[in-house]
Structure 1
Amino acid sequence: MSVMRLGYVHTRVTDLAESLKHYHETLGMQVVAEEPGKVFLKAWDEYDHHSVVLEEGGVGLVKLGYKVERSADLEDYEKRAQQFGVLTERMSKGDNLAVGDGVRLVLPSDHVVELYADVEQTGTATGVLNPEAWPRDLVGVGVPRIDHTLITAEDPVAVERFFSEVLDFRASERVVTEPGEDGDLLGSWMFCSNTPHDIAFIKGPNGKLHHFAYQLADWSEILRAGDLFAMDDVSVDVGPTRHGITRGTTIYFFDPSGNRNEVFAGGYMTFPDFPTITWTADELAKGIFYIGRELNERFTSVLT
């Protein structure tokens, strides 16, 4: 039984047409379906039907979807979540376009997470028979896949416990006020696959999105993305630079509605026996932005 990966991010935007310019023309995602007030997109190296849903009407996160290994796992996760004490609800095939039955959970931070096993697979742009390295018709950055999200929580300890005890995630890195048992948890980076993090959360208001991220191959692609952001007048928050936490390279930027995105490359691999790395609050700036070692006010205060 396992949660395999982040499957989709469903977010609100103020202007659907303007947002499509960003997610399609700049980032290179492809529109796969439309409903009234909604657009479904996928990146070129993703097999499932979609990975991002844009819904017109405001800003911020609607919900996150995580794909589990087997349909039989859903009942077990549902029971665990109920024992933990969070709200659960069954979702049926068709509640989400192209997604099968699942379980909807409300985290201690008020975020909505959906677990599912079955989803329509439409394949990648290069296919599975003698595929090329990448498609020749990439648009903009040409992001290959979504990677992770970072949310905020009034009680990071409760959210960390939920992901650990209910969903079997492990913490790769943590930020605490001070070492030892007396230190308060300020943030946690957790994984279910072999990446540095499949979700992260920091102390802040419940229900808010800090960012969601796309994986790129390496530092040169991060720099190329930065060039394209300049060409398209994308509002850049921080970067290009490197993280201390996760060791990845990064640029943070905003979509036209103010939702923060990230392109992320590198980092280390994780395994079930990966030891948790600890950072203390006095070194947080270095942990987040290893080179500059400074946190701007916008990075910690702008949430959607």
Structure 2
Amino acid sequence: MAMTGVLRPGHAQIRVLNLEESIKFYRDVMGLIETGRDDQGRVYFKCWDEQDHSSYIIREAPQAGVDFIGFRVLDEATLESLESDLNAYGVETRRLPAGDLLETGERVRFTLPSGHEFELFATKTKVGNGMPLTNPGPWCADAEKGISPIRFDHALLYGPNIADVKKIFVDVLGFFMVERVIAEDNTTEVGIWLSCSHKVHDIAFVEHPEPGKLHHCSFLMESWERVLRGGDIMSMNKVEVDIGPTRHGITRGCTIYAWDPSGNRFETFMGGYHPYPDYECLTWTMDNFGQGLDYPQRKLHESFLTIVS
């Protein structure tokens, strides 16, 4: 499909309770590559196969959770157009200057009805993946450090008013619905999975009474074997695991969920199918949501439904 408009997840800024402990975790256990630090105390990371300067940013705070999620758009003209479309729709936006986030251009920030801070940007310095653009190899040495995911893949956010969130993403930003979970009334959507690309999802939301909550940030792995290797590394480092290894019914992805030292859940993920905008949205009913979550066990894990940061 032609990639226009909103392209993909670009970055997440996450709050951690102990900065030094978290740096060691994301660098040594997760295998992310540190790319910078700024005068606000933020530390920047990227996954090994990402070309942009950073995709995962952490800062120390009294409470864990997510500050904002950013998506990259095609170009500056697209950024201007989407900002205008958001304002016309009634979504108030604000501009953040170039350089406010290291090696990143101007960003358009707005607050979703779910209470999450969301932003769009068009430019970020490319630092490459450690391999040449001419005659590159299939991987580089940094890919063998820690769990070493390929990229920041998506986020699942918990908050209220996801029906209104859906309208913004579909009607204004050009996303399409891939899957959903409906309540016992067989009408109300309590979970939505959305894509702006050919991925099975680029972002997802679940209805939750508290605004602005993070369920997880997901990191893409190259294969099921790499997911399992990641599970070995988690156990070697006594990382607390939530669910997995297992397969979802929703998205068909293979996964392990675990927590960083601050209690922010993360996912190591691979697989899923490749939808296009003309695909029909798949529906899961609440009486079968256990299979949607954990296909082999058909189990609703209480921790997955209730623990957020």
Q: Tell me if both proteins adopt one fold, taking TM over 0.5 as the criterion.
A: yes
Correspondence list, 1:245-260, <5 A: 245-260=250-265
Q: Of 55, 68, 72, which aligns to 1:67?
A: 72
Q: Sequence identity, in percent?
A: 41
CA distance in 2, matches of 1:142, 1:184: 38
Unaligned runs of 5+ in 2: none
Instruction: Kindly state the Cα deviation for residue 35 of structure 1 after the two structures are TM-superposed.
Output: 2.1
Runs of 4+ in 1 over 2 A off after TM superposition: 83-87
- Which amino acid in structure 2 is aligned with residue 265 of structure 1? M
Distance in 2 of aligned mates of 1:291 and 1:265: 16
Indicate conservation of the 8 Å contact 1:249/1:264, yes or no.
yes
| Among 179, 183, 187, the residue aligned to 1:183 | 187
CA distance in 2 between counterparts of 1:178 and 1:299 reads: 19
Between the aligned partners of 2:107 and 2:218, the Cα distance in structure 1 is 24
* Aligned pair partner of 1:111 in 111, 116, 120: 116
Aligned partner (choices 123, 137, 141) of residue 147 of structure 2:
141
Given the alignment of the two structures, is residue 285 of structure 1 paired with residue 260 of structure 2, yes or no?
A: no
Aligned residue among 13, 19, 24 for 1:21: 24
| Cα distance in 1 between the residues matched to 2:219 and 2:141 | 20
Give the number of equivalent residue pairs.
302
Cα offset, 1:214, TM superposition = 0.4
Q: Does 1:159 align with 2:165?
A: yes
1:31 aligns with 2:37: no
Q: Tell me the SS of whatever aligns to 1:72.
A: helix
Q: Is the 8 A contact 1:45 1:126 kept in 2?
A: no
- TM-score when normalising by structure 1: 0.96
SS of 2:76's equivalent in the other structure is coil
Q: CA deviation at 1:178?
A: 4.9
Counterpart check, 1:42 vs 2:51: no
Paired residues of 1:245 and 1:287 also in contact (CA < 8 A): yes
TM-score (norm 2): 0.95
Does the aligned pair in 2 maintain the 1:49–1:120 contact within 8 Å? yes
Output aligned runs, 1:223-302, within 5 Å. Answer: 223-302=228-307
Name the CA distance, whole Å, in 1 between partners of 2:292 and 2:301. 14
| RMSD of aligned residue pairs (Cα, Å) | 1.2
In structure 2, what residue type is equivalent to 1:13?
V
CA distance in 1, matches of 2:234, 2:164: 37
Find the residue that maps to 2:308 and give its secondary structure: coil
Which string of whole-angstrom CA distances, capped at 9 and with x for unpartnered residues, describes residues 279-300 of structure 1?
1111111111111111222111
